[in-house]
Each structure stands twice: as structure tokens, then as C-alpha cells.
Amino acid sequence: MNTAPHEQGNAPVLPGSVALVGAGPGDPELLTLKALRCIQSADVLLHDHLVGPQVLALIPASAERIDVGKTRARHTLPQDEICRLLCWHARAGRRVVRLKGGDPLMFGRGGEEMAALRRAGIPFIVVPGITAALGASAAFHLSLTHREYAPRCVFLSGHKKARDAAPDVDSEEDWDSLARPAQTLVFYMGIARLEHIRAQLVAHGLSAETPAALIYKATLPEARLWRCTLATLPECARAENIQPPALVIIGQTAAHVAG
């Protein structure tokens, strides 16, 4: 059954419904037109901490703004409470926007939020956003799938799986597959686990001299890039005091990054 409400005029979010909206990688000009219309028509907006001030400035003054952001080891609100708030505000007849950094279904909790809305019988739409890897690729002229070096690109979460993850979810990656040379690996949220990532990839056969790059806040004025190798990834991050949000890119394509 299709639970998405139909749009009316210039207001894609209808009263009593929810829009899960991708805010993109930070630059407000990279918002989709539909995302902007959702933001500007919202009665209440729940946003992540990765949604930057330039995007938040587009929220109308009349809208209630709720910060539900999560960082490593710090959750403003538990996920169950976020889902409860989405449902509560929608049942009150409001136009609800859940604004998420990047794309709402890429390494976020969009799947859990959609499931909660379905269970509650609340209509919703999903508005895709430019995910951080594509923003970084454009900002630093990096072809993630350059046909001479990497016909395959893999997006991964660098976070360790939660203790309460579903029992059928493996707690480790398929490192044999990830250690193949002719591909690009992009780790989101991987800064805290660089030593583990390096150790596993090298142990499973990927050369320690494989090019790598660390990219901080791509598409924003404070964007930075550091080139290194798989062998020197953790030391580079420590020496430069690189903090999230930063992407880790590993593969031959990283040797051809601009900047």
C-alpha cells in the first residue's frame, strides 16, 4: 500500500503528514527544490545536528524547531522518542518535516522512522538529498567510479554495530570483499575506528600503500582535504586533529583528488 500523500500546490507536506527530507551535505544551494518547499511549509521541524545553520536559516519563523541530533556517545533524544514526536505532531494535524543531513535513507534512522509512521498509519513522503560522498566528490573533483581505477564504489558506516542490533545482522564487515583493489571505499562516521579499518583491510590483503583521503565538511566554506595512504590514515587524523563530520575514502581514485 502506498502511504505517501499526494502533493497539493506548492505544499508537498500536507496537514497530518510527515516528510523525511534530505538536507544535503551542507551547502544550502544543493537542497532540492522539493526539500526547500517542504522546509518552508513546515509547522514543526525536527532536525539533526549535521544540518548546518545556512539550511536552518531557511526554516520559517512560524515553525516550531526541535533539535533531535545525535553525535557519537551523545544522543539528544532516543530514537523511540523521535518517532513518537513525529507521530504525535502529525496526529495533531501539523505539517511535520524530519530534516536529516545528506540523504534521509543513507546511514541514518530513516528506515526506523518510516516503519514507525507505517505502524501508526501516518502518511509520509521521502525527499532524497545529496549524500556526503557525492558532495565531497563534486567539491574536490573526485570521480568515485573512475573507469580506469574503480568500476565499483562501496558506501559503509564506520560506526561499530550497536549492541542491540538485530540478531541476523553480522557485527563485522565482509573484509575479504572490501579488500579488493579495484574499487573505492567510502566510510561515513569512521574517524573513531581508523586503526580498526586499516588493520582489517591490510590483514585481508589490501596494500598498505593504497591511496586514501580524509575530507572534512565538504561543500562548506571550512571544507578541508588531507591526502595519505591506508598505512598512515590514523596518524594523519591524529596529527591534524580531524573531527567528525569527515569522510574516509580509500582506493586508487583517492590519488586523483583535487585540492
Of residues 172, 247, 189, 173, the one with CA closest to residue 217: 247
Which of 27, 43, 48, 103 is catalytic? The answer is 48
* Cell 538536507 belongs to residue: 23
Pairing relation of β-strands 224-229 and 211-216? antiparallel
153: β partners:
184
161 annotated active-site: no
Instruction: Report the C-alpha gap between 73 and 86 in whole angstroms.
Output: 23
Long-range contacts of 220-229 (CB under 8 A, 24+ apart): 220/25, 220/26, 220/27, 220/52, 223/139, 225/140, 225/257, 225/259, 227/254, 227/255, 227/257
70 annotated active-site: yes
100: β partners:
22
C-alpha cell at 115: 516503519
Phi, psi (degrees; rounded to nearest 5) at 16? 80, 15
Q: Which residues are catalytic?
A: 48, 70
